[in-house]
Amino acid sequence: MYQNVLVISDNLEMARFFKDLVDLNKDYAGFKFTLSISPNSNKSKFVEALKSKVFVYNLRDKSDIETIISRYDLVLSIHCKQLFPEKMVNSVKCINVHPGYNPINRGWYPQVFAIMNDLPIGATIHEIDDELDHGLIIAREFVTNEITDTSLSLYNKILEKEKKLIKDNLLNILNNSYSTITPENDGHIYLKKDFNELCKIDLNEEGTFKLFYDKLRALTHGDYKNAFFINERSGKKVFISINIHEES
């Protein structure tokens, strides 16, 4: 049984969901949960929204790593923007909630590359090892990847699936009574540099309209400015997104 649990989340929606889940369910009364964020997240915003004390842990800081190892027996990563160092992974049980279906969608922005490459997508809870989104799988489920989805709409589906997986599996994880399966293969890792390269639109690229449609919807995520080309006259970036509406 893991009783002292550190939750590291840089996603306010998921952090709020987790806090409400454990606060309102008596099954979790015997466990101590500490909420934390990465240094680049807005601490004031999290404290105000969660009405709770929020710690900041820098996983590149050796003293923070030693603190985590000495204080907690389980670390849950729920959209943490930091890589877990090998020493921490080997010293304390670390589990990740990943917005992709492992091993198909490892790495950054899985929904983007699922749209671009017409891949299945979902959510996974897995043990963390010394490779990115690679460890033994505790639970995973698919979501539907529709041709009308943008990055944002597909991401929102994944968040809801993650919440379901957490509800269904958290108690077993805390009681160390869960089972695991080994990923079928290494899958494919998408890195942030791959996303950054995808954002650069080549106006001379040739292909089908579907290719460009998929690229634009993969890079459309609400108000984020992702896809762009360079205006040769001004030298400035011109950002592009797409609106998709299916008739009722």
Which active-site residues does the annotation give? 98
Quick count: other Cβ atoms within 10 Å of Cβ 142?
13
> Which is it for strands 189-190 and 106-107: parallel, antiparallel or unpaired?
parallel
Q: Are 115 and 214 in contact (CB under 8 A)?
A: yes
> Which is it for strands 55-56 and 32-37: parallel, antiparallel or unpaired?
parallel
Q: Are 39 and 60 in contact (CB under 8 A)?
A: no
Q: Are 104 and 188 in contact (CB under 8 A)?
A: yes
**Rg of the Cα atoms in the chain:** 19
Determine whether 204 is exposed, middle or buried from the number of CB atoms within 10 Å of its CB (0-12, 13-18, 19+): exposed
